[in-house]
């Protein structure tokens, strides 16, 4: 109560990046860090559930095609543990909009995407862009 945050809403949690491809994961992590945003990364659905249980994410970037459990199960698990968490869907197939709607996401990014587009979409989702 002495850190000067009285009267402010709790700061949103970090951005949780859930992506199985190492290079894409690295790119997302470094780009968002360079924007000054806190980032956590998970290469699998299970790791994502662990991280989300430990710390409520402010936003989740979710690849729908994961090797262990699918994106829908991850979204469901995170929301069950932490309540509503805004989600941006990342997908490589042609049905990004459909998947985003099904999972109740704010929006989506279709692979391959531009970094400018990534940053703009994330900022819009965080309501600070």
Partner 1 sequence: VRPPPQLEDVAVERALVARLRERYATLDAEASHTALRVLRSGRAWLDPAVSEERLAAESRGADHLALMRALGFRAEIVVPLVAGDGALGTITLVGGEGRSYDRDDLALAEELGRRCATAIANAGAFAAAEEARREALRAAERTRHLQEITQQLSRSLDVEDLLDAVARSAAALLAAPVGAVFLLDRADGEADFALVAAHGIDAARVAALRLPRHASLAGRAVDEGRTLVVDDARAVAGTALPALLTGQSAGSEIAAPITAGEERLGVVKAFSPTARRFRPDDAELLSALAAAAAVALTNARLYREARDAIRARDEFLSSAAHDLRTPLTGLKGMAQLLLRQATAGGAPDPGRLVEGLTGLDASATRAARQVDQLLDITRLRAGEPLELQRRPTDLVALARGAVAEWQQASDAHRIRITDGDAQLVGHWDAGRLERVLDNLLSNAVKYSPAGGEVLVALRREEDGAGSWAVVAVQDRGIGVPRAELDRIFERFRRGSNVPVPVVGSGIGLASVRQIVEQHGGEVAVESEEGAGSTFTVRLPIGAVATGALAR
Q: For binding to partner 1 (CB under 8 A), which residues are involved?
A: 20-24, 26-28, 30-31, 34, 43-44, 46-47, 65, 67-70, 72, 92-94, 111-115, 118
The residue (of 2 and 23) whose beta carbon lies closer to partner 1 is: 23
Task: Give 91's strand partners.
Answer: 110
- Nearer to partner 1 by Cβ, of 42 and 87: the residue is 42
3-class secondary structure, 3: coil
Q: Minimum distance from CB of 6 to partner 1 (Å)?
A: 36
If the CB atoms of residues 12 and 31 are measured against partner 1, the closer one turns out to be 31
How would you classify the pairing of strands 87-91 and 59-63? parallel
Give the residue among 8, 67, 53, 13 at the shortest CA–CA distance from 37: 13
Q: How far is the CB of 59 from partner 1 (least distance, A)?
A: 18
Phi, psi of 16 (to 5 degrees): -100, 115
């Amino acid at each position: 109560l002495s850190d000067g945050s009285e009267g402010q809403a709790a700061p949103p949690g970090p951005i949780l990046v859930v992506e199985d491809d190492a290079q894409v994961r690295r790119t997302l992590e470094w780009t968002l860090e360079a924007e000054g945003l806190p980032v956590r990364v998970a290469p699998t659905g299970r790791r994502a559930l662990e991280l989300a249980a430990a710390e409520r994410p402010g936003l989740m970037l979710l690849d729908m095609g994961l090797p262990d459990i699918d994106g829908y199960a991850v979204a469901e698990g995170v929301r069950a543990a932490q309540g509503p968490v805004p989600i941006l869907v990342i997908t490589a197939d042609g049905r990004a909009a459909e998947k985003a709607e099904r999972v109740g996401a704010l929006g989506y990014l279709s692979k391959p995407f531009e970094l400018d587009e990534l940053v703009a979409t994330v900022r819009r989702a965080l309501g600070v862009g």
